[in-house]
Structure 1
Amino acid sequence: MPYVLTFHFDPDFEKRRLRPKNRDDGTVDQFDLGYAQNVALGQTLAEWETLPLDAAADLDPDRIVSESTAFPCGEGCSVDPDNPLRLLASVNGHVAFLDGRITVRETLAIGCDIDFHTGNIVAVGDVLIGGDVRAGFAVMGRNVTITGSVVAARIRAMGNVTCHGGIQGGAKATIRAGKSLRAKFCENAVLHAGQNILIDGSCMHCRLFAGQKLAVKGRLAGGEVYCGEAVYVGEQLGGGGQSQTRLLLGYDPERIHKDQHIKASMRQTLLDIETLRLDMGRGEASAAQHAAALEQSLQRFETFKRQLKKLWDNPAAMRRFSTCRVIVPGRIGANVEVSIGEAALSVPEDTRDAVLRYQDGEIVIEHPALRK
C-alpha cells in the first residue's frame, strides 16, 4: 500500500527568497522576514497518510510517495511512540528539509550581519550570529552569542547573552539576559541580567541592572548601576567629566526598573489630569467634553498607585544590605554616589584600592579592596 508524506512545515522554506511580512493595514514590515521556522519539543513535523490508488495521478510530483513508512529524518526529531506514522520534534529549534532529510537544530547559526537581508531573528533555540546586529533590529533566543558588535539594537535571551565585539548603544540598545550577560565593552546602552553582568573592557554612560553581581574589568563611568549584591570595577569608577556615576545596591534591580516605569507613568498621568482640568475650566461645553477623559485619567493614576504599593509590599523586594560590596582595586574618580539600601555616600575623589560596604545604617570605606 503506498503512502504519501504530509509536511506540517514548509519543506521548501530554505530555498525561498525572504520577503517582508504584510501588516493588516496593507503595509509591509521590512524588519520581519520570517528567517527561521521554529518548532517546539513534541510538535508534529510530518506524517504518513494512506494514498488511494486513484489519487496517485493527481498528486503533486514533488510529494514523497513510498511503500515504506520510514521517515527521511535527521537530528532533532523522532517517531511518535504512540503513532509510528507521525514524526515529532525531539528538541526546541528550527526545522528544515535539506538534502532529503527533516532536521531540527537547536542552534540557529547565521554567518552574516543582522540587517535588512535577514530581518529580526526570533528563535526558540540558541542563536549564533557571525556578524553584527545592526541598528533598529532585534534578536530573541534561548542563548544568544554575537561574534561582532551590537549597534543600537535589541537583544533578548531566556538564558545568556555573549557579545564578543561590544555594544555601541547609541542610547537605543537594550540587552536582556534571563541569566548572565558578557560583553567586550558597552556604551550608551541599557543592560539587564537576572544574574551577573561581566564587561571585559570599559562601560560608559549605561544603565545596568544586575540581579546578583556586576564586574567591569576596565573603567565604569557615567550612568546608573542597580545591583543586588556586589559591584567590582578593576581600573576606575567614575570620573567621566561632569557626568555623575550612581550605584544602588541591595534591592532587586528589576523591581527598581518597574518602579521607575510606574513613576514615569504617574508623572505623565498627573500632567494629563492638570491639562484636562484647565480645559474643563473654559466653560460648560468644554467641561462636558473632557469629563470622561478626566475620570479615566484619575482611575489610571489610582491603578498606578496600587501597582507601586504591591511592587514593594512583597518581602522578596528587600535584600541583606550587610552583604553588599563595591570593590575598586583601582581609583575612584569624581562625581560618584553609592547607595546601599537607604544609606548613601558621595565618595571622595581619588579614593584608591577601596571596598565600600554597609554598616549600622551607613556606608564605610575600607582598604585594601581585595584581601589575600
Structure 2
Amino acid sequence: MPFLLKHHFDPDWDPSKLRPEEQADGSVDHHELNFVNNVSKGDVIAEWVDIEEGEDVDRRFVFDDKEFPAGRGTGLRQKFPDTLFAAVDGYVCYKEGKILVRETLTVHWDIDYHTGNVDFVGNISVEGSVRSGFTVRGVKVTIAGQVEGARIEATRNLNCHGGVKGGKIAHLEAGHDLKLAYCEYATLIAKNDILIKGALMHSNVYAGKRLAVGHRLTGGNICAYDYIYVGGQLGGGLDTDTSLVMGYKPSLLHADEEYNKRIKSLHDDIASFEKALNKGNEFRAEFKPKLESAIKELDLLKALKVKLWDGIYATERLDECKVLVPGVVKPGVEISIGSAFLKVDDFLEDVYFYYDNDEVKIGASTEKVKR
C-alpha cells in the first residue's frame, strides 16, 4: 500500500526564485517574500498519511514504505512513528533528497528586493549588504557587507564587518554586544557593549555597558552606562553637536526619547485637529473624537514619563563613569554624568573625564586610568 509524505513546509522552497504573495486587497508587498521556512524545536515538519482512492496527489512524495528521508536537525518519537519533528530551532528544507533543519541561515546575496525581509529563529550570516528599507532579525547576526538605511535586530550579538551608512534611518539593536567597522547616521542600541573599529559619526547610541570607538566620535547623542573610550578624536568642533550622557541606564533613556517623539507628534496632531474644528461645525463629527483621543493619549504619556524618570533616577551609578580619550577632544563637546555637566571650551589631548562631587572633572592622562 503506497503512502503519501505530507509536508508542513514548502518542499519546493528555492530562495533564488521567491515571489511576493498577493494580499487580500490584490496588492503585493515586495518586502515580504517569505525568504525562510522557520521551525521551532518540536514542530511537526512531515508525516505519513494514507492516500484516498482517486485522490490527486504529488506523485514525487508517494512511497511504498514509511521510511522518512530524515536528515540532520530532524528527529522521531517512539509514540509517533509516522511523524517527523524538528530537533532544533532553524529552517527546514530539502538537501540532496534529505529533509534538514539548519540552525544557521546563510544568505549569499544582498538583502534587497530579491530576498525581502529576513526574520529567522536562529543565527544569520549575510554575505552581502543590507539595502535601505529592509529588515533582518535573528539570534546572532553577522553581515559581511554594508548596512544602509535598514533595521537589524539580534537577540544576541550583531557584527557588521562592512560598517553602516545609515542615512539617518538605520536602526541596529543587539541583545548582547554590537560590533561595527564604522557607523554614520544611525541609531545603535546594545544591552552590553558597542565596539566600533573606525569612526562613529552623527549617530544616536545607547550602550548598556560600554562604548569603544577606535578612531573618532563626531556628532550625535551618545548614552553609555559607565564607560566611553575614543581612541582618536572626540567632537567635531563648535559647529558639531556632540553630547555624551552617562550614569543612567541607556535603555530607559531611549524609552524616554521615544516618548518625546510621540509627544511631539501628538502636539502636532492636536494643533491640526483644533485648526480643522475652527473652520466650522461641519468638521466637528470627524475631528472632535480625534482631538479628544489625542489629548487623552498625551496626558497618559506625560504620566508615563514621570514614572519612567523615577525608574531612570533609580539606576543612577556615577562614581564609576569615565570618558577616556588618548587622542584629541575638540571644543563644544558636552558631557553629562548624572546631573553634573561640562561643556569643553578648549582643545584637549590625552585626557579623561570623571564624576567627582557633583562635577565632571578632567584628568590629565588616560594612562593613569584603569580600563
**In the alignment, which residue of structure 2 is the partner of 1:216?**
213
Moved more, 308-317 or 5-14: 308-317
Rounded Cα–Cα distance in structure 1 between residues aligned with 2:251 and 2:270: 28
Moved more, 14-23 or 244-253: 14-23
**In the alignment, which residue of structure 2 is the partner of 1:64?**
62
Rounded Cα–Cα distance in structure 1 between residues aligned with 2:15 and 2:333: 56
**Deviation (angstroms), 1:333:** 1.0
**In the alignment, which residue of structure 2 is the partner of 1:8?**
8
**In the alignment, which residue of structure 2 is the partner of 1:158?**
155
Rounded Cα–Cα distance in structure 2 between residues aligned with 1:27 and 1:252: 43
**In the alignment, which residue of structure 2 is the partner of 1:45?**
45
Rounded Cα–Cα distance in structure 2 between residues aligned with 1:295 and 1:87: 55
Structure 1 stretches of at least 4 aligned residues deviating more than 6 Å after TM superposition: none
**Deviation (angstroms), 1:149:** 0.8
- CA distance change for structure 1 residues 338 and 32 in 2, over 3 Å: closer, same or farther? same
Counterpart amino acid of residue 353 in structure 2: L
2:345 matched to 1:368? no
Counterpart amino acid of residue 152 in structure 2: I
**In the alignment, which residue of structure 2 is the partner of 1:134?**
131
Give the TM-score normalised by the residue count of structure 1.
Answer: 0.92
2:95 matched to 1:98? yes
2:120 to 106, 120, 123: 123
SS in 2 for 1:150: coil
- CA distance change for structure 1 residues 240 and 187 in 2, over 3 Å: closer, same or farther? farther
Moved more, 313-322 or 209-218: 313-322
Alignment RMSD:
2.3
Write the mapping of 1:298-313 to structure 2, written as runs, cut at 5 A: 298-313=295-310
**Which sections of structure 2, spanning at least 5 residues, go unmatched?**
none
Contact 1:355 1:365 in 2 (8 A): yes
**Deviation (angstroms), 1:168:** 0.8
**Deviation (angstroms), 1:348:** 3.4
Rounded Cα–Cα distance in structure 2 between residues aligned with 1:81 and 1:198: 48
SS in 2 for 1:293: helix
**Deviation (angstroms), 1:19:** 0.3
Moved more, 81-90 or 165-174: 81-90
- CA distance change for structure 1 residues 58 and 280 in 2, over 3 Å: closer, same or farther? closer
**Deviation (angstroms), 1:51:** 5.1
**Deviation (angstroms), 1:250:** 1.1
SS in 2 for 1:91: coil
Contact 1:209 1:253 in 2 (8 A): yes
- CA distance change for structure 1 residues 21 and 51 in 2, over 3 Å: closer, same or farther? closer
**Deviation (angstroms), 1:89:** 0.8
**Which sections of structure 1, spanning at least 5 residues, go unmatched?**
none
Rounded Cα–Cα distance in structure 1 between residues aligned with 2:349 and 2:241: 18
Counterpart amino acid of residue 222 in structure 1: G
Rounded Cα–Cα distance in structure 1 between residues aligned with 2:254 and 2:81: 50
**In the alignment, which residue of structure 1 is the partner of 2:354?**
357
Equivalences, count = 369
Rounded Cα–Cα distance in structure 2 between residues aligned with 1:208 and 1:267: 21
**Deviation (angstroms), 1:278:** 5.0
Give the TM-score normalised by the residue count of structure 2.
Answer: 0.92
Deviations 1:180-220 (A, max 9, x none): 11011111111111111000011111111111110001100
**In the alignment, which residue of structure 2 is the partner of 1:264?**
261
2:330 matched to 1:327? no
